[in-house]
Amino acid sequence: MTRFARDGIALAYEDAGTGPPALFQHGLGGDARQSADVFPTDRRRITLECRGQGGSDTGPEAALSIATFAADLESLARHLALGALAVGGISMGAAIALRLAVRHPGRVGALVLARPAWVAAPAPANMRPYAEAGALIATLPPAEARRRFAASATAATLAREAPDNLASLLGFFGRPPAFGRLLQAIAADGPGVTEAEIARITVPTLVIGHGRDLAHPLAHAERLAALIPGARLRTITPKATDRAVYAAEFRAALADFLP
């Protein structure tokens, strides 16, 4: 990992592989390993670990937002003297990439929106489990916070319908209270763009989605693919069904799309 500073805050990023670069962002609570797990190994991938996640400092909690994370990513692109390139990400990373495509269209030459958790509106219902987990992490000792969430109706629904979502959320317990507040802030946020702006995106776009995932509804992927002219929708095996097949199909979809 390499670090650079923006507004006095140290941010970590990984630059791996060779060939044309792509900015590819992790999801909420993730890090560069999540991006590396599904990215073709024969391509160059740059992943910024967002504030309060991975090896990056948190900075002022009031600044934690998708807009800030997108501005950090644009700052990294300038720091590395990158031109227009493929930009994408998973879940929160997809929202960051979407914001860049709308607010900095000259930066984004191709767009990848994988397992999107947002379309345009802030605080979608699918993000409520993150807000619920965040509130417990922020206010209770780790063991008690995890016990309460595991016993909740939310956890029971996830265990039945989206076990991978539940496993991810349970993995967050044990992190510091500041991370719980980050979860709450991002769960209440959105990409800060409108559907009309999304519909004006003209770059080649790949949207990846799958079922058995309440945090990343396939309907969100379908809606984004319908909004963006010429977007390709790739539906892959759910991670909850077969993690290895999910990763292989994800990598194949990226390899087919990226330059």
Query: Cα-atom radius of gyration of the chain, to the nearest Å?
Result: 17
**pLDDT for position 29:** 98
**pLDDT for position 14:** 98
Mode of pairing for the β-strands spanning 21-25 and 44-48: parallel
**pLDDT for position 136:** 98
**pLDDT for position 37:** 98
- Tell me the C-alpha distance between 101 and 200, whole Å: 10
**pLDDT for position 259:** 83
**pLDDT for position 192:** 98
Q: Which helix (H) or strand (E) holds 29?
A: none
How far is the CA of 259 from the CAs of 109, 143, 238, in angstroms? 10, 46, 25
CATH architecture of 2-119+190-257: 3-Layer(aba) Sandwich (3.40)
Closest CA to 43 of 234, 236, 258, 244: 258
- Which two structure tokens, joined as six digits, stand for 24? 């590819």
* Phi then psi dihedrals of residue 195, to 5 deg: -65, -35
How many other C-beta atoms lie within 10 A of the C-beta of residue 104?
16
Tell me the three state secondary structure of residue 119.
coil
> String of b and e for 178-211 (b: at least 16 CB within 10 Å)?
ebbbbbbbbbebbbbbeeebbeebebbbbbbbbb
**pLDDT for position 134:** 98
- Ranges of residues in the chain whose predicted pLDDT is under 50: none
- Tell me the C-alpha distance between 206 and 228, whole Å: 10
Enter the pTM of the model: 0.98
**pLDDT for position 193:** 98
Closest CA to 72 of 158, 155, 13: 13
